[in-house]
Amino acid sequence: MDRNRLGLRIHHSGSSQSEESALDLERNYCSHPNLLWSSPSPLQPFASGGQHSESNAAYFSWPTLSRLNDAAEVRANYFGNLQKGVLPETLGRLPSGQRATTLLELMTIRAFHSKILRRFSLGTAIGFRIRRGDLTDIPAILVFVARKVHRQWLSHVQCLPAALEGPGGVWCDVDVVEFSYYGVPAATPKEQLYTELVDGLRGSDPCIGSGSQVANQETYGTLGAIVKSRTGNRQVGFLTNRHVAVDLDYPNQKMFHPLPPSLGPGVYLGAVERATSFITDELWYGIFAGTNPETFVRADGAFIPFAEDFNMNNVNITVKGVGEVGDVHVIDLQAPINSLIGRQVVKVGRSSGLTTGTIMAYALEYNDEKGICFFTDFLVVGENQQTFDLEGDSGSLILLTGRDCEKPRPVGIIWGGTANRGRLKLKVGQPPENWTSGVDLGRLLDLLELDIITTNEGLQAAIQDQRNALAQGIDSTVGESSPLDRVPSKEKIEENFEPLNLNIQQVTGEGEPEPKRRKQSD
């Protein structure tokens, strides 16, 4: 279905780094709205393993004021043009136009009504209507509220419409989902699961690969995928979360498996080459996803090339517990939403091992108390009310289960969850469920200029490409910095990102803290 049904133009614009802004993503959780019409607190996921706060925002780069003003004007004109294709609101009956069927159509309808939805909800997402805890095949905008009550207890102005209409008369259902808050997060046991698979991922296996534990001096998480760079010396390395790889309070950005030697047994894997935390919506999705000019998508990823002296024979391409995987599933916003929503997924992480779940929604949106709008791509709920991730699983690869004997296909990586923050109440008479948030892998790979490696042949070819690129660099005397040069002091990182090719940006403190025994001094 093409964009003309919505009168939609895909908008692209450049980005620039600029002024730093303090942002404490943790403090908003304490507010607890009791009723649908209460002033809403943001529906914010927290990172898997998050326990300490990074509120100084040293690496959260906002657009410059002029860039923000320009973007606001362009955004206003964009939605003003969409307004011309919107029919007068129909009260008490469903619109007569075509029902939305694609992710793009649903996202556009939601963006068009984002100001109204923000007054009613903690957040919204794109998905199917949920009835008695089960997904239907009815496309809908999901609206999350702190307390879901019967319509008879609400006045007319407190009721959400049954449907919303967008440009060109395209419309969709509205579904209300209860999000139960639990106040201040309680401490969560870190070693809730211990199996032979998990034992291997934490260091008892001779090889590493997707699901293996990776750590720096302060945190540990999970290796997501083996990847190769599209640029420079075509380095071969691995992908994980930014918050796992880069500790903003400890400038040494080296990664180890399973632990740094100062904390336990382990070997040096490599240093962070480039990373990102947030990106504007029009650059991530190719469209304006909301009317708010300050709209950012969580793009939590980091690329770590393997060190020159690391033995590449110790790299395993298959996903332990799953086997071989296929190519990345690229999410096309113009595809029907059942190409993604409702799909079964699996993941392998260093804390919980192999788990299964369902993609319940895409493009989860929430706002902080300053009015800044944030998006995260996936909302995954574990099967049989089992959690899909635990602390330390940040960075784990999310795999779509294969159809018709196809190999599982990577679609995202985990960056957080809400085991301590709050849960989704999907079924009456059943307890609320945990949920997991993830990053769209295809878009993250493009942003970091990486390709995933899924076969041994592909790994060998990538290693050879790296050798060839390095040899050419030496011949032309324009080689890249040595690994030792890739780790400047914290002051140098703050002054200039270029030596590392970093786009590091500030987020809430995440990853699972390691015991601070024998901590090295700065």
Fold of 196-456: Thrombin, subunit H (2.40.10)
pLDDT, residue 517, reads 39
For 249, the token pair is 């309070």
For 365, the token pair is 């949106």
pLDDT, residue 386, reads 85
Question: In terms of Cα–Cα distance, which of 244, 245, 262 is closest to 515?
Answer: 262
Could you give the 3-state DSSP secondary structure of residue 177? strand
- pLDDT less than 50: residues of the chain: 1-40, 49-66, 183-186, 189, 420, 478-522
The CA angle 414-29-163, to the nearest 5 degrees, is 75
What does the DSSP assignment read for 27-73? GGGS----STTSPPPP---EETT--S---S-TT-BPPPHHHHHHHHH
Cβ-contact 246, 275 below 8 angstroms: yes
Cβ-contact 320, 51 below 8 angstroms: no
pLDDT, residue 346, reads 98
Cβ-contact 270, 483 below 8 angstroms: yes
pLDDT, residue 34, reads 32
Q: Which residue has the tokens 């049954």?
A: 162
d(CA 350, CA 194): 10
pLDDT, residue 58, reads 31
One-letter amino acid at 161 equals P
Please list the residue range(s) of the chain that carry CATH number 2.40.10.10: 196-456
What does the DSSP assignment read for 165-190? E-GGG-EEEEEEEEEEE-SSPPP--S
Cβ-contact 397, 210 below 8 angstroms: yes
Cβ-contact 301, 194 below 8 angstroms: no
pLDDT, residue 453, reads 98
Q: Which residue has the tokens 């040069």?
A: 485
pLDDT tens figures, 403-447: 778 999 999 999 987 654 567 777 666 777 888 999 999 999 999
pLDDT, residue 130, reads 87
